[in-house]
Amino acid sequence: MSYKDEYQFWLENDYFDQDTKNELLAIRNDEGEIEERFYKELEFGTGGLRGVIGAGTNRMNIYTVRKATQGLANFILKQGTQAKGVAISHDNRRMSREFAEEAGLCMAANGIKAYIFDSLRPTPELSFALRTLGCTAGIMVTASHNPPEYNGYKVYWEDGAQVTAPKDTQIIDEVQAIKDYAEVKSMSMEDAKKAGLYEIIGSEIDDAYMAELKKQIIHPEVISEMADKIKIVYTPLCGTGNLPVRRVLSELGFKHVYVVPEQENPDPNFTTLEYPNPEDPKAFTYALKLAKEKDADIILATDPDADRLGVYAKDTRTGEYVSFTGNMSGMLIAEYILRERTATKTMPVNPALVTTIVTTNMTVPITQAYNVKLIEVLTGFKYIGEQIKFFEQTGSNNYVFGLEESYGCLAGTHARDKDAIVAVMCLCEVAVYCKKQGKTLWDMMIDTYEKYGYFKETQYTITLKGIDGSKQIAEIMDKLRANPPKAFGDLKVLKFRDYQNDVILDMESGAKTTTGLPKSNVLYFELPDNAWCCARPSGTEPKIKFYMGVKGDSLADAEAKVAKLTEDLKAQL
């Protein structure tokens, strides 16, 4: 059907409710808006669904959520694992509860028991819950840090990680195979509960989750001694982190935790935020103000589904608060864990740290210093979680820590996705350890740079929305793939990695080798002196992202080098 036919079908078919039809009638004279909503189906990709909330095939609504869930249910039934059930959680966004309930009722109608949280919970707790309950899969309704008009739907498998190959594409095939909305099953909540196919879960999972987090503490005696001597400002950015973060810090004995009142409670409109993302400095406006009032040592922000952590810490020399990238905070936690587990002889045998190809190269000298194996995977924390599964299956290594540059990390194996709650807890332990030594987190960061090198990373993003956006993004990638740059400014390209075609090209000799990783639409340029650049279309937003990294002799040198590399990249584009 054409987009016009699809629009008319939604207006006339009794399957769609009157509110949906009223929303569509309101745009009947806006041809561009009708086309945008109906020119395609909202893509169920390898990370699930994510899109603007509204009526239409290219929007997040109860009908697209039901269809996605029916495809997942069909896959589960073919796997023969339906008896295990599915765990479902959601964040604070508009329609999140409704989408979670619709997913649960669709599963129930297919004879698959749904375990659904009684209210909003963080993404990492969903990962923990499905493993604790022994479920075959999990669904998390969230759009993470996207703007308020978005919502999304992530699918997890029984190991607790988001689905990876080949199951991801097999589930996509099942979703795409549904051509008629009438194929989608549902039932009433009353009937689902009577049939024992819809169970509410809550505090018992919370308690077990908290117990697992606290197992990651290395020096409880230092926390006991110093917890009342440190001041922490925290903002959940109007999302899911407030209760679990406050609970774990309270139970560990931290006395001075000040929560930003304007961003304490769940708010689907994110009223005090332009963009609910801890990567955005503007998200810290209220937190910085409160930190100055309280003379806080550190400022912490979790994104709406509490899988990412943003950090500021005081520089005592200037009295100003300094922002930390995800690479910086991740390296602080990693260095602390590796150093202290080595010192206390609690490091497991065959330890491994897992990171992604666009994360800081500082991981190399740090892991070498402590004789820890470094494993690099594709971008996306699901690939880090997948490595934990491989370790358990083969016994080859023991997972110690995992991180990605996008403000996400995981200490422990209780979850298989990045976990900002455990990251908050770990970073607060690092902060009190520093405090005991008369240092701040910023002092420790400088110590780390001095020891391993001044690594610096940045991103350059091009946003291309609308119907033509994806085509333009594809054209940029095709151009770079067909004619890879020989240099970025005065930095020669040493090797060119094309993960889509599974090839590494030595630019001088012409020799070709394989990447050793799954196929993905990612291009990577290895440059001299620990410099690099990587191009990757976003899987969740209409963007193409360019990641860059350098190594300098000082903060200023690294800053200058990464700024020049960014300008040289722009010149190539």
Which residues does the annotation mark as catalytic? 144
Chain centre to alpha carbon of residue 472:
25
Rounded distance between C-alpha atoms, residue 499 and residue 521, angstroms: 6
DSSP state, residue 527: -
Rounded distance between C-alpha atoms, residue 117 and residue 129, angstroms: 9
Nearest C-alpha neighbor of 152 from the set 142, 162, 144, 161? 142
Q: Is the dihedral of CA 424, 139, 377, 484 positive or negative?
A: negative
Rounded distance between C-alpha atoms, residue 522 and residue 524, angstroms: 7
| Amino acid (1-letter code) at residue 73 | A
Rounded distance between C-alpha atoms, residue 55 and residue 42, angstroms: 11
DSSP string, 452-503: H-EEEEEEEEEE--STTHHHHHHHHHHHHHHS--SEETTEE--EEEETTTTE
Nearest C-alpha neighbor of 79 from the set 2, 163, 13, 180? 163
**Which residues 6+ apart lie within 8 Å of 504 measured at CB?**
495, 496, 497, 498, 512, 513, 514, 515
Number of H helices and E strands in the chain, helices first, is 19, 24
Judge whether 402 and 381 are in contact, CB under 8 Å.
yes
Outline where 91-142 has alpha helix (H). Answer: 96-109, 123-132
Angle ∠(449,559,372) on CA atoms, nearest 5: 30
| 162-174 residues labelled b (16+ CB within 10 A) or e (exposed) | bbbeeebeebbeb
Judge whether 399 and 410 are in contact, CB under 8 Å.
no
Rounded distance between C-alpha atoms, residue 272 and residue 260, angstroms: 11
